[in-house]
Structure 1
Amino acid sequence: MPASLSFSVASPGGPRAARVVHERRGAGRPLVLLHGIGHHWQAWEPVLDILAADRDVIAVDLPGFGASDALPDGIPYDLEGVIPVLGALFEALGVTRPDVAGNSLGGLLALELGRVGLVRSVTALSPARFWTEAERRYAFGVLSMMRAGARALPPPAVAWLARGAAGRAALTGAIYARPARRSPDAVVAETRALREAVGFDATLAAGSSGLFTHDIPDVPVTIAWGTRDRLMPRRQGVRAKRVIPGARLVRLPGCGHVPMSDDPALVARVILDGSR
C-alpha cells in the first residue's frame, strides 16, 4: 500500500513542509522510480514486482502529481526547484545515493540527480530535453491535448471508453505502443491523475526552454528509447548519447514513450543492468 511522507524543504520564505506519496516494495539496495508529467507512481506497476525481487524499490508520486501535494509556495517546478526537494525526500526515506530510474520528465530529473551527485546510477527512459524546437512543440501539443481531453471528459465517459481496446487506445495511444495491455482500471486512474495534476501547467511551462547539455562523467548512465515512441522520436536518444558520451544507449523494440507496460521484462532488465 502506498505511504505518505512529510518532510521539510528549503524555500525562499524559509523551511516549508512537503508531502510525497510513494510505494515501497522489496529489499536490497534502494532503487527510486520517477514517472513522467501528468502520470503517477502506478505507471511503474508492471515492473515493480520484478524489480522488487532484487531491490528496495521506491516508486514516487512527484510533487504536484498523483496523490502528492503541490510544491510549497515559492518553489518552482523547474530543475532548480525540484531537485533539492528530491534530495530532501531521499534523506527522509533514509536512502543515500540510491540508484534512480525515470521516464520522460522523470528521466530528465534522474539525469540531473546524476549530474549533481545525488544518485549512484541513472537509467533514463525517453528523457526530456533532447528535442529540437519543432519536436518540443509537437510533444507539448500532444500532452496539452491529452490534458484537455482528460479534463473535458466526464468520469463515466472515461470509464466507458476504457472498457474497450479502441477506447484505451484513444485515451492513451500517444504514450503506449500497446495501449490495449493497460487494464480499464489503470487507464481510468491515469486519466484521473492527468486531469488532477496540479503541477502540470507549471512543469510544462518550465520545460519550454533549454536543453540538457551536461555530461555526467562520474555516474553510470543508461538511456533507453522505445522504437515506437510516438511522442518523442527515438532519434532523440542519439542526441542524448552525444551529450553524455559515456552513457549506454539501449533500444526498446516495440515500446512506446511509457514503455513499462509495453514490455515489462525488457524494461526491468534494462533498469537492473544499468544499476549494477
Structure 2
Amino acid sequence: MTGPTLHRTGSGKPLLLVHGLGATAHAWDMVLPALARHREVITFELPGHGMTAAEADSGTFVGLIRSMNALFDEHGLTGIDVVGSSLGGRIVLELARLGRVGNCIALDPGGFWQGWEAKYLAITLGASGRLLRLIRPLLPRIAAHTLTRGATLLQLVNRPSGLDPAMTAHELRAFADTSTFGALVQDLSTGPSQPGPAAPSTGNLVIGWGRQDRLCLPRQAARAKAAFPSAKLYWFEDCGHFPMWDQPQEAVELILATTA
C-alpha cells in the first residue's frame, strides 16, 4: 500500500510523534533533537498533510484512524509509545482506546468540546485557514518578527518569542495548504466527542494541557480525564495549545518520564 513515509532519527526504544490538524512533521522540530538523544523518534505526516497525499476518507476523523490502523499494520507499530498534539492528541487517545499503543501522551487533544465550544472551534479555525491562504506570500516575513508572529498565532501560542521563524513559516504555510483542512474542521466540530477509556493493554497515559490554550479550552481537560480515568492530567503553565512550542524543555521531560 502507499501511505505516509516514516522518518526515523536517534536510537533507543521507538517513539512515534503524531502532529495536529494542518501541521507537518516539522511541528516537532523544537523537541526532536532532545528526544532523539534518548529514543528512536519516528515522525510522519497524516494523509492530506505535508508530503502525504490525501485518501478518499482523509477529511474525516474516522478516515484518519483507518489510515493510522493501516500504518500500524504495515510497519508493525502495535504497542509503540506515542505522543500526539491537538488532532494528533485525539488520534493517540483513540489508538489507546483500541489497544494499539504502549505509553501514550496526548497534548491538548481535540474531541472534548461541547455546545458553543464546537461552533467556536469551527468559526475560529475556519477563519484562520482563510486568512492564512489570503496572506500566504507574506508568511515568511510575518514569522520573522515576534510581534506579527504572535498576532498570527494568538489562538495557539502563548510565548511567540521562543519560536524559530523558519519553522513557524513552514507550519503556517502548511496550515494554509492542507487540502483536507476545511473538511476536517467541519467533521471534527460536528462529530461526536472522543470516547474512552483506554484499553487495559495501554501503558502510562498522560493528558497534557496548556493553561492558556485558546483553541481547546482548559475546561475541556476535565472531560478528557473523565473519558480516560486511567490518565494522569498534567498542566503546562504559561502555555497555549502547543506545549512543544511554548514549553519545549518541559514537554521533553514529560515525554521521557512517561515513556521511560
Same fold (TM over 0.5): yes
Q: Deviation of residue 258 (structure 1)?
A: 1.1
Structure 1 residues 176 and 22: alpha-carbon distance in aligned structure 2, compared to 1, 3 A threshold: farther
Hey, what does 2:36 align to over in structure 1? 52
TM-score, structure 1 length as denominator?
A: 0.88
Give 1:92 deviation, angstroms: 3.6
Cross-structure match for 2:177? 196
Deviation of 1:87 (Å):
2.5
- Aligned-residue Cα RMSD (Å) equals 1.6
What is the Cα deviation at residue 76 of structure 1?
4.5
The sequence identity of aligned pairs, in percent, is 34
CA contact (8 A) 1:217 1:246 kept: no
1:41 counterpart (6, 10, 25) = 25
Q: 1:228 offset after TM fit, Å?
A: 1.2
Instruction: Report what 1:270 is aligned to.
Output: 254
The equivalent residue for 2:146 is 165
Of 88, 94, 99, which aligns to 2:81?
A: 99
TM-score by length of 2: 0.93
Partner of 2:116: 134
- Mark the CA change 1:96 to 1:211 in structure 2 (over 3 Å): closer, same or farther: closer
Code of the aligned partner of 1:181: G
Alpha-carbon contact 2:61-2:184 (below 8 Å) kept? no
Whether 1:206 and 2:187 are equivalent positions in the alignment is yes
Tell me whether 1:249 sits opposite 2:228 in the alignment: no
What residue in structure 2 maps to residue 30 of structure 1?
Answer: 14
User: Out of 212, 223, 232, which is 2:207 matched to?
Assistant: 223
Whole-angstrom distance in 2 between the partners of 1:60 and 1:254: 28
Alignment partners' CA distance in 2, 1:232 and 1:76: 22
1:175 alignment counterpart: 156
**Conservation of the 8 A alpha-carbon contact between 2:29 and 2:167:** no
Q: Distance in 2 between matches of 1:79 and 1:143?
A: 16
Matching of residues 3-82 of structure 1 within 5 Å: 8=1, 18-71=2-55, 73=56, 75-82=57-64
SS in 2 for 1:122: strand
**One-letter code of the match for 2:147?**
A
Q: Corresponding residue for 1:258?
A: 242
Residue 102 of structure 2: aligned partner = 120
Of 163, 167, 177, which residue of structure 2 is paired with 1:186?
Answer: 167
Q: How far apart, in 1, do the equivalents of 2:121 and 2:136 lie?
A: 25
1:139 CA drift (Å): 2.0
1:67 partner SS = coil
